[in-house]
């Protein structure tokens, strides 16, 4: 798979029951459908991510799904307005730029989700 931002090959990383794809160039992460929810273990994540706080410029949506090549849709969740994440219109998964995973975990308001994300990032990147 290619990074939707810079076309570098993504590296598959395994953590717990998840397989996540990571770009060493830009630090972005690809989660297959359902994996982000598993990582965050947050029942209200869908609500958090489905709320849109602002209209996102459609012309800015130039990233392609690493699985099918479809142009991804950008979203700005109401609970984390600093985050603009991309999803495949066919439901393949979610692309998060560097730092957006931690921001979403914080926005979820769940200490457990923050703890899991912190452990995930520490294990994968030694952060």
Residues engaged in binding Zn ion (CB under 5 A): 3, 5-6, 23, 25-26, 28, 65, 67-68, 70, 88, 90, 92
Name every residue whose Cβ is closer than 8 Å to that of residue 62 and which is 6 or more positions away in sequence: 71
Nearer to Zn ion, 61 or 78 (CB): 61
Based on CB atoms, which residue is closest to Zn ion, 21 or 116? Answer: 21
CA-to-CA distance for 59 and 56, rounded, in angstroms?
9
Query: Is the CB of residue 45 less than 8 Å from the CB of residue 31?
Result: no
Find the shortest distance in angstroms from Cβ 90 to Zn ion.
5
d(CA 9, CA 84) in angstroms, rounded, equals 22
CB of 9 to Zn ion, least distance (A): 9
State which residue, 3 or 39, has the beta carbon closest to Zn ion.
3
């Amino acid at each position: 798979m290619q990074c939707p931002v810079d076309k570098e090959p993504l590296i598959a990383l395994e953590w717990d029951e998840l397989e996540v794809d990571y770009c060493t160039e830009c630090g972005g992460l690809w989660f297959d459908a359902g994996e982000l929810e598993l990582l965050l273990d947050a029942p209200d994540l869908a609500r958090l991510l489905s709320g849109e706080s602002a209209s996102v410029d459609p012309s800015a949506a130039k990233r392609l799904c690493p699985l099918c090549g479809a142009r991804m849709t950008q979203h700005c969740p109401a609970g984390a307005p600093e985050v603009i994440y991309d999803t495949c219109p066919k439901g393949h998964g979610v692309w998060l730029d560097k730092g957006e995973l931690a921001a979403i975990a914080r926005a979820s308001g769940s200490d457990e989700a923050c703890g899991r994300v912190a452990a995930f990032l520490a294990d994968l990147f030694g952060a």
